[in-house]
Amino acid sequence: MNKYLWSFALSAVVLAGCGKKEEPAPAPAAAPVAAAPAAPVNTEEKVLNIYNWPDYIPEGMIAAFEKETGIKVNYDTFETNEALNAKLVAGNTGYDIVVPGTVFAKPQIEGGLLQPLDKSKIPNLANLDPAIMGTLTKADPENKHLVPWAWGFTTVGINKTKVEKALGKTPMPENAWDLVFKPEYTSKLRSCGIAYLDSPTEIMPVALHYIGKDAYSNNPADYAAANEMLAKVRKDVRLFSSTMIDDIAGGKACVAIAWSGDVNIAAGRAKENKSKDEIVALLPSTGALIFFDTMAIAKGAKHPNNAHAFIDFYLRPENAALMSNEMSYPTGNKAATDKIKPEIASNKTIFVESAYFAKMIPPSSFTNEAREAMANAYNKFKQGK
Ligand code: N2P
């Protein structure tokens, strides 16, 4: 709890204590006596449509919400920010809650595609970490629209067993990004499979970062430079993947540009499947790219009350902790901290240590022109042109 919340809580206790068993003080003559407002009745149909990333919600969470509230949830998934954005831009999505990354949420807020929250309906917002909410103001200046779902980072994930075998006498590089961007390594790893996330706004920022440019550059010349680097490894990339967990756990890829939690999920899945291979998310020496994924209510949502109810439900400490415990992504919910399992809390590729956190590249956003330049550069690279 921050100091303001503490002092609020304390004064509430003091006031409650004062009132007990005392003669009621005479009310000041002119005190306005307002009738307590009747609790608003939720007249919405009992439906909620959610659009989120795959492999991001603990099993049973939706069922628990449905059981408690009688609200039927339709839960769909999208694989990239681009896919979600295209839906929001086209309008009439039918979705109530969407979960964009902040890189896209900023222009979505500016474009009126997300609606402001009614914070009076989300008391559990008080559970959120003020430091994370402070970070989110870069995308959502007054914290009016976005509530953190989870955060994580884009990094290099490997099947260590297979990578070491494929590299032979070549030692692991100092900078893990070399494994996916440097021909000296990619030429050796192509045999066991290199996979990239299939999205311009996942790959181009990482490529820019690798060549020493601003990961969120708005300068088209930087994209040309990134392409030059990428072109040299194109022939070694086996997969552009939207099913990374399966691809890593199932052995289609031994090295990937992937999201931290997904690599950890793949590691767990491989173990369940009795594989002896060790799968790990690496912490590149030059830093990985942080992302924040956030819940927001889409413009024109037909079930805003149910959406607020779900957001508040998700923000209960036990639910936020369940997400971290089962999906291997850190939560922005401070009140959940003591409910995180020790093996998750101590995994330095989930909750990274502060020294590494300081090295990571925080998210920013792009102008529309830059996004277009990026998509063009990415498609050119993908097509091998
Ligand atoms: C999917 C997690 C999405 C993280 N499992 C990237 N925004």
DSSP state of 360: S
Cα 53 to ligand 1 centroid, rounded to whole Å: 6
Tell me, using a 6 A CB cutoff, whether residue 291 lines ligand 1: yes
Q: For residues 243 and 54, what is the distance between their CA atoms, to the nearest angstrom?
A: 9
Domains of the chain, by residue range, sit at 47-151+292-353, 153-289+366-383
The answer to whether domain 153-289+366-383 has CATH 3.40.190.10 is: yes
Which residue from 53, 201, 260 has its CB within 8 A of the most atoms of ligand 1, so it is best to mutate? 53
* Alpha carbon of 56 to ligand 1 centroid (Å): 7
From the CA of 56, give the closest atom in ligand 1.
5
CB distance 55 to ligand 1 below 6 Å: yes
State the DSSP code for 36. Answer: P
Protein residue with least CA distance to atom 6, ligand 1: 259
Contact between 122 and 268 (Cβ < 8 Å):
no
Q: How does pLDDT run along the chain (385 residues), one tens digit per residue?
A: 333 333 323 333 333 333 333 444 454 555 555 666 666 677 899 999 999 999 999 999 999 999 999 999 999 999 999 999 999 999 999 999 999 999 999 999 999 999 999 999 999 999 999 999 999 999 999 999 999 999 999 999 999 999 999 999 999 999 999 999 999 999 999 999 999 999 999 999 999 999 999 999 999 899 999 999 999 999 999 999 999 999 999 999 999 999 999 999 999 999 999 999 999 999 999 999 999 999 999 999 999 999 999 999 999 999 999 999 999 999 999 999 999 999 999 999 999 999 999 999 999 988 888 888 899 999 999 999 7
Q: Hey, what are 305's tokens?
A: 């009350």
The reply to whether ligand 1 has any atom less than 6 angstroms from the CB of 326 is no
CA 44, CA 49: separation in Å to the nearest integer?
A: 13
Which ligand 1 atom lies nearest to the CA of residue 262?
A: 5
Tokens for 266, please give them: 């793949």
- Residue to substitute in 323, 329, 331, 350 for testing ligand 1 pocket (most ligand atoms within 8 angstroms of CB): 329
202 lines ligand 1 (CB under 6 A): no
Residue 157, H or E segment: strand 147-159
CB of 96 within 6 A of ligand 1: the answer is no
Residue 156 CA to residue 263 CA, distance in Å, equals 9
The answer to whether 47-151+292-353 and 153-289+366-383 have equal CATH topology is yes
Closest to 265 (Cα-Cα) out of 248, 282, 277, 251 = 248
Architecture of domain 47-151+292-353: 3-Layer(aba) Sandwich (3.40)
pTM confidence score = 0.89
